[in-house]
Amino acid sequence: MDKNIRLSGIAYESLVNGPGIRRVFFSQGCLHNCKECFNPDTHDFNGGELRDMDELILDVKENPMIKGITFSGGDPFEQADKFSYMAKEFKKFGLNIWSYTGYTFEYILSHIEEREGWKELINNIDALVDGRFEIDKKEDGLRFRGSSNQRIINVPESLKEGKVILVEI
């Protein structure tokens, strides 16, 4: 497996992309083109820069302040094979993993066998913020999401129960 991932950027210590101090990896590449997206520079699949995943993982391991990891974008599900590799490694350190995606949880499950890495990624994250950003549903004060249609899903519980279980915030 190629150990390089295309990222648009990294937030080294974030408090706004999930609970606790988190390292946030911004995926490069997105097909959703949400109106008034706050990260349009992440849409081009050839933008950003290639980074060595093992180096990124080691850097997190060496920072005891980091309590969780967030995959944002772009859309991490467009590089699910790469993000699933990283998620599995971060899980070994006991870190909480969140991912954002413009796809809905239901869409991911219905296409899980067709898309490389989707099964591994969904099975190695703790919370999924799903759905496209919708400007007409933007509300002040929403925690960890851009618009009210987006859900913060407890992935392990939802997979176990066979229905969407939301994270209690």
> 128 and 144 in contact (C-beta within 8 Å)?
no
Average per-residue pLDDT for the chain: 94
- Percentage of the chain with pLDDT > 70? 100
- Give the angle subtended at the CA of 154 by the CAs of 86 and 146, to the nearest 5°: 85
Beta bridge pairs of residue 127: 98, 154
Measured at the alpha carbon of residue 21, what is the angle toward residues 134 and 82, in degrees to the nearest 5? 65
Single-letter code of the amino acid located at 167: V
pLDDT digits (tens, 9 = 90+) for 92-135: 999 999 999 999 999 999 999 999 999 999 999 999 999 999 99
pLDDT tens-place string over residues 30-52 = 888 778 777 888 888 999 999 99
Looking at the DSSP bridge assignments, the partners of residue 26 are 9, 72
Q: What pLDDT does residue 1 have?
A: 76
Domain 4-161: CATH superfamily is Aldolase class I (3.20.20.70)
Distance between CA atoms of 165 and 152, rounded to whole angstroms? 9
What is the predicted pLDDT for the residue at 154? 98
Comparing 15-24, 30-39, 65-74, 107-116, the range with the smallest average pLDDT is 30-39
Instruction: Give the pTM.
Output: 0.95
Question: What does the buried/exposed string (b/e) look like for 59-87 if buried means 16 or more CB atoms within 10 Å of the residue's CB?
Answer: ebeeeeebebbbbbbbbbbbbbebbbbbb
Distance of alpha carbon 122 from alpha carbon 110, whole angstroms: 12
